[in-house]
Amino acid sequence: MINKLLILIAVTVTFVNIPAYAQTRDVTITRQWARASIGTMRPTAAYLTITNNGKDAVILDRIKTKIAAMAHIHNSTTNAKGISSMAPAGEIRIEPNQSVTLQPSGLHIMLMDLQRPLIKGDSFELTLIFENGQHITTDVPVLAISARGPKE
Amino acid sequence: MKFSNLQKFLWALVAIAVIGLSGAAFWQKRPDTNPMIYSPPALVADFSLTDHNGNLRTDEDFTGKWLLVFFGFTNCPDICPTSLSEIAVVMDDLQEKASAVQPLFITIDPKRDTPEVLAEYVTLFHPAILGLSGSLEQIEQTGKSFKIFYEKLQQDQAPDGYTMSHSSSLFLFDSNGHFVRSFAYGTQASKIVEDIKSRL
């Protein structure tokens, strides 16, 4: 009886967890690239597209990378008077079947306190951690400081 | 003819309205003795700054060249590299006409952006771009003469705890240093090239 109950619990837990694993595969990262830095004293930026093919919205919680002690999503905006500024982006929520694109002049991952310079031709690992606990690690190629988008 | 009190009241209202309207018309037709003359100031490039090679430079040094001026700071990871990359494309695509144009990158964060810092920054984008820095007062003076806006913003998630908001348009000056036009941030390099080529 106890065994049957345990099996029932185990089966239930497994099935409840399956959607979470499936979701991990449902979120994909594409078009990732970072801009080469000048040494380690000044910040640089990384860009990518997050696509949610799952059934539930996902919310990006934080970003981890060994290359920078601080990695935050910031947003650049330019107002009608032609004045640009940058501020933390707030919640990044990706609805099912939607993408969020981080690209120059808008959302970007600001990489600060660089642990080593980002040199053109190198690449580094970056992990996106979502509020539902899922982690996605991607390899980000470093392009020239004058790059304007990912390599096709 | 006798008016009821109500009629008297209504006629009085009409009278007030007529007087009011004619008064308004009179005021409108009255010749403006103190007209507001609106004409945008003739903006002339005016600065005295230190370039990224350590040389003192004024606007007069560039007489004969068209100026393409951008304000920014090197701790800016997104807007400034994007603009400088556009300027680099503009310079390449101007081809033989590029020698008539001097691109200038003027820092609005001179405390961090010394000439040495600018030297390792601007040259990564294009060899023609000249970085300019100066004292806080010199930059303030330059900002005033170019009528640009910039502001230091406290921000925990920024290097040294601050970031800068700033005018991000590109300013074009003719070979006499007179303001010609600005290009809004994000204007495609091809559009800028087309515009400049049509003027040279």
- Which pLDDT score, from 0 to 100, does residue B43 have? 81
Longest Cα–Cα distance of chain B, Å, equals 96
Q: Which residues of chain A have pLDDT under 70?
A: 1-25, 152
Chain A positions touching B78 (Cβ under 8 A) are: 45, 74, 76, 86, 104-105, 108, 110
- CB-based contact (8 Å) between A142 and chain B? no
Taking a C-beta distance cutoff of 8 angstroms, is the pair B139, B133 a contact? yes
Asked if A43 lies within 8 A of B159 by C-beta distance, the reply is yes
Instruction: Give A7 or B158, the one with higher predicted confidence.
Output: B158
- Which pLDDT score, from 0 to 100, does residue A14 have? 47
Give, in order, the Cα–Cα distances in Å from A27 to each of A73, A91, A151, B54. 18, 17, 21, 50
Tokens representing B131 are 């970085």
- CB-based contact (8 Å) between A86 and chain B? yes
Torsion, Cα of B65, B70, B73, B74 (10° steps): -70
For residues A16 and B132, what is the distance between their CA atoms, to the nearest angstrom?
61
Torsion, Cα of A100, A103, A106, A107 (10° steps): 50
Mean pLDDT score of chain B: 87
CATH number listed for the domain at residues A2-143: 2.60.40.1890
Residue found by looking up tokens 């979502």 in the block:
A130
For residues B20 and B14, what is the distance between their CA atoms, to the nearest angstrom?
10
> Is residue B42 scored above 90 in pLDDT?
no
- Which pLDDT score, from 0 to 100, does residue B35 have? 43
Tokens representing B24 are 């308004």
CATH number listed for the domain at residues B48-199: 3.40.30.10
Chain B positions touching A87 (Cβ under 8 A) are: 153, 155
Burial of B12-26, coded b for 16+ CB within 10 Å and e otherwise, reads eeeeeeeeeeeeeee
Q: Which residue of A has its CA nearest to B158?
A: A112
State mean pLDDT over B50-75: 96
Residue B3 binned pLDDT confidence (cut-offs 50, 70, 90): low
For residues B67 and B100, what is the distance between their CA atoms, to the nearest angstrom?
9
> Is residue B110 scored above 90 in pLDDT?
yes
Instruction: Give B46 or A4, the one with higher predicted confidence.
Output: B46
Mean pLDDT score of chain A: 88
- Beta pairing, strands A27-35 & A135-143: parallel
Beta bridge partners of A94: A58
Reported residue count of chain B is 200
